[in-house]
Amino acid sequence: MVALEIKLKNVECSVEKLDDRLLILDTDEHNVQKLRRLQTITRLERMLIEIPYSRSMKEFRINCRKALIELDGIVTKESIVSARGQGVKRKRLLVILREIQRLFKCKLSRSLGDVDLSIRFLSNRYIVSLNVGTFQPLYRRWYTYYKSRASIHPIIAAAMSIIAGRSREMLDPFCGSLTIPIEYLRMWPCTYATCIDIDRVTVLNSIRNALLSEIYDRMLIILSDFFNIKLRKNYDLIVTDPPRGLRLRSSIAFYEKFFRRSIEFLSSNGKIVTIVFEKDLRRILRGLPQNFQVEMPLRTVQGGYRVCILSIHVR
């Protein structure tokens, strides 16, 4: 998804997947500014050096010295260095930090320093990278004044928006705190969203999110029950996160009802992008109307539960 967004937003950089999370991005300062605005990333880091693994601590220390010297200019005597290890044994992390301190005579800090490093162990080497993203995690978007009881993660909403693709107007019939419409409208300029929610307090608070997001002029927010509403037009796209059901008796039945109702508002060749619990996937797919064609579900985790993003074409 990150790679797709990079392509979509014309950021010039090379991308290499190292593990589930890490992407190496070879780019210049101008493109780093563009990367900071991506909606599908949580944290932006610049890879600095690699330290080869060695079983013997003595040899490892020598490897560290050789590699860390390259941090000259990034770490200086005046720097306050902080570091977080990911998958790195504490003893090894301490060796790396002590070598940094010894080489550059800098200070180390347990809280956030002005040089914030990440040290990971990947494929028999330690990778030291510099945090160049915001210090506020990007997933805490500034517009989230209000979170509904089951707000979706903004990064998943951004991924759903990429999967959905550009459409002049989208419908979110269970909009909650507006995470999906806001991410969608930010992803695709010059598009509009119709947002529906049944809960008065949710809608009132969501209006604040809409104002904070500064794209409220591209949204229509309606307080109503999706199953009773009368809408005058049809939509090419529905992107939504329906109540998935910890409080529902049967989320499968709810999804069936949702799909049946959606057909009434979809234009021919319309598309639904939605999210379902992975455990319910099979049964939901089995109950789909015949004219629904599902693309490969994309698996992820939301609020500690395994979920799938479904993209459905209605023929």
Ligand X SMILES: C[S@@+](CC[C@H](N)C(=O)[O-])C[C@H]1O[C@@H](n2cnc3c(N)ncnc32)[C@H](O)[C@@H]1O
Segment interacting with ligand X, rule: CB under 6 A, options 85-93, 113-121, 183-191, 223-231: 223-231
Residue 161 three-state SS? helix
Kindly state whether residue 225 participates in binding ligand X, applying the rule CB under 6 A.
yes
Kindly state whether residue 256 participates in binding ligand X, applying the rule CB under 6 A.
no
Q: Distance between CA atoms of 121 and 87, rounded to whole angstroms?
A: 6
Residues 228-247 that bind ligand X (CB under 6 A): 241, 243
At a CB cut-off of 8 Å and minimum separation 6, what does 279 contact? 306
What are the φ and ψ backbone dihedral angles of 312, each rounded to 5 degrees?
A: -125, 125
> 232 vs 247, which CB is nearer to ligand X?
247
> 154 vs 270, which CB is nearer to ligand X?
154
> 85 vs 173, which CB is nearer to ligand X?
173
At a CB cut-off of 8 Å and minimum separation 6, what does 125 contact? 50, 51, 52, 53
Shortest distance (Å) from residue 217 CB to ligand X: 20
Segment interacting with ligand X, rule: CB under 6 A, options 72-80, 103-111, 150-158, 230-238: 150-158
Shortest distance (Å) from residue 89 CB to ligand X: 38
Q: What single string gives the DSSP state of each residue in 285-296?
A: HHTS-TTEEE--
- Interior/surface letters 13-27, b for 16+ CB within 10 angstroms, e for the rest: beeeeeeeebbebeb
> 242 vs 270, which CB is nearer to ligand X?
242
Shortest distance (Å) from residue 276 CB to ligand X: 12
Binding mask 295-314 for ligand X (x = CB under 6 A): --------------------
Kindly state whether residue 115 participates in binding ligand X, applying the rule CB under 6 A.
no
Shortest distance (Å) from residue 311 CB to ligand X: 17
> What residue type is assigned to position 178 of the chain?
L
User: How many beta carbons lie within 10 A of that of residue 37, not counting itself?
Assistant: 12
Kindly state whether residue 151 participates in binding ligand X, applying the rule CB under 6 A.
yes
Segment interacting with ligand X, rule: CB under 6 A, options 58-66, 98-106, 131-139, 175-183: 175-183
Segment interacting with ligand X, rule: CB under 6 A, options 14-22, 80-88, 114-122, 221-229: 221-229
> Among residues 11, 117, 152, 182, which is the contact residue for ligand X, using CB under 6 A?
152
Q: Shortest CA distance to 45 belongs to which of 122, 102, 108, 101?
A: 122
CA angle 199, 204, 208 (to 5 degrees): 135
Kindly state whether residue 197 participates in binding ligand X, applying the rule CB under 6 A.
yes
Kindly state whether residue 179 participates in binding ligand X, applying the rule CB under 6 A.
yes
| CB-nearest residue to ligand X | 176
| Helix extents (H) in 124-236 | 154-164, 179-187, 200-213
Shortest distance (Å) from residue 107 CB to ligand X: 41
For residue 241, give the DSSP letter: -
Q: Shortest CA distance to 250 belongs to which of 277, 288, 289, 223?
A: 277
For residue 82, give the DSSP letter: E
What are the φ and ψ backbone dihedral angles of 159, each rounded to 5 degrees?
A: -65, -40
> Among residues 24, 74, 130, 150, which is the contact residue for ligand X, using CB under 6 A?
150
Kindly state whether residue 262 participates in binding ligand X, applying the rule CB under 6 A.
no
Q: Distance between CA atoms of 153 and 127, rounded to whole angstroms?
A: 28
Are 117 and 130 within 8 A, CB to CB? Answer: yes
Segment interacting with ligand X, rule: CB under 6 A, options 77-85, 97-105, 168-176, 297-305: 168-176
Chain residues binding ligand X by CB under 6 A are 148, 150-152, 173-174, 176-177, 179-180, 196-199, 202, 225-227, 241, 243
